[in-house]
Chain A
Amino acid sequence: MAQYLPILVMTVLAVLFAAGSFIASGILAPKRSTAAKRSPYECGIVPSSEPVERFPIRFYLVAMIFIIFDIEVIFLYPWAVIFRQLSNFGLVEMVIFAATVFVSFLYLVSNGALTWGPKRKALPIQDDVEPELLQTTTPAA
Chain B
Amino acid sequence: MGSDPLLSHGISLAVVLIIVLKVLVAFVVLMVSVLLMIWFERKVISDMQNRIGPNRAGPWGILQTLADGIKLFFKEDLIPERSDRFVFKLAPYLSTIPAFLTFTLVPLGGVVKIFGHTTELQVVDPPIGILFLLAMSTISVYGVMLAGWSSGSKYPLIGSVRASAQMISYEAAMGLSIASVVLVTGSLSTRDMVNAQAGYFFHIFPKWNLVQLGLVPFLVFVIAITAELNRPPFDLVEAEQELVGGFHTEYSSIRFALFFLAEFMNTITMSAIIVTLFLGGPSGPDPRFLHWLWPVLWFVVKTIAFLFFYVWLRAALPRLRYDQLMDLGWKVLIPISLAWILVVAGMQINRLLGFGILVLSLASAVLLYRAMDVGDALNDASDVGLAPTATSGFPSAIAIPAAPGLKIVTRPPVGESSTSGGN
Please give the residue numbers on chain A whose beta carbons come within 8 Å of chain B beta carbons, in ascending order: 2-7, 9-11, 13-15, 17-18, 21-22, 24-26, 28-33, 35, 37-43, 45-63, 65-66, 69-70, 72-73, 76-77, 80-84, 87-88, 90-91, 94-95, 98, 101-102, 105-107, 109-121
Contacts and interface: CB of A to CB of B under 8 A. Distances in A.
Majority SS at the chain B contact face: helix
Nearest to B334: A69
A112 to B, nearest CB: 4
24 contacts: A5-B7, A7-B124, A11-B101, A14-B100, A17-B27, A22-B255, A25-B77, A29-B254, A38-B78, A39-B409, A42-B155, A54-B398, A62-B168, A72-B338, A98-B342, A102-B364, A110-B372, A112-B375, A112-B382, A115-B375, A116-B322, A116-B326, A117-B376, A118-B385
A87 B72 CA distance: 56
Given A57-B387, A112-B392, A80 B183 contact: yes
Contacts of A87: 349
A2 B11 contact: yes
A45 B179 CA distance: 49
A76 B179 contact: yes
Given A3-B125, A24-B73, A95 B357 contact: yes
Contact of A46 (B74, B378, B395, B414): B414
Contact of A51 (B154, B342, B349, B371): B154
B305 to A, nearest CB: 26
Contacts of B400: 52-53, 55
Interface stretch (B15-23, B39-47, B108-116, B287-295): B15-23
Contacts of B230: none
Contact of A95 (B168, B342, B374): B342
Nearest to B70: A28
Given A28-B73, A70-B175, A116-B323, A40 B126 contact: no
B66 interface: no
Contacts of B419: 49
B254 A115 contact: no
A56 B398 CA distance: 7
Given A6-B104, A18-B93, A118-B385, A59 B165 contact: yes
Contacts of B175: 70, 73, 76
Given A57-B397, A60-B398, A117 B327 contact: yes
Interface string B243-257: 010000110011101
Contacts of B223: none
Interface of B: 2-4, 7-8, 10-11, 16, 19-20, 22-24, 26-27, 72-82, 92-93, 96-97, 100-101, 104, 123-127, 131-132, 151-155, 157-158, 161, 164-165, 168-169, 171-172, 175-176, 179-180, 182-183, 186-188, 244, 249-250, 253-255, 257-258, 322-324, 326-327, 330-331, 334-335, 338, 341-342, 345-346, 348-349, 353, 357, 360, 364, 367-368, 370-372, 374-376, 378-380, 382, 385-388, 391-392, 394-402, 406, 408-409, 411, 413-414, 417-421
Contacts of A118: 323, 385
Contacts of B165: 58-59, 62-63
B11 A5 contact: yes
Contact of B380 (A76, A110, A119): A119
A6 B123 contact: yes
A10 B101 contact: yes
Nearest to B16: A5
| Residue among A69, A113, A118 facing the most chain B CB atoms (10 A cut-off) | A69
B261 to A, nearest CB: 9
A49 B418 CA distance: 8
A107 B372 CA distance: 10
Contacts of B330: 62, 65, 109, 114
A105 to B, nearest CB: 8
Nearest to B105: A7
Nearest to B75: A29
A57 B398 contact: yes
Contact of A57 (B125, B368, B396): B396
B137 to A, nearest CB: 12
A23 to B, nearest CB: 10
A66 B360 CA distance: 24
A84 B349 CA distance: 9
A2 B82 CA distance: 44
Contacts of B331: 109, 114
Contacts of A83: 183, 186, 345, 348
Contacts of A37: 76, 78
Contacts of B72: 25
A21 B65 CA distance: 16
B379 A117 contact: yes
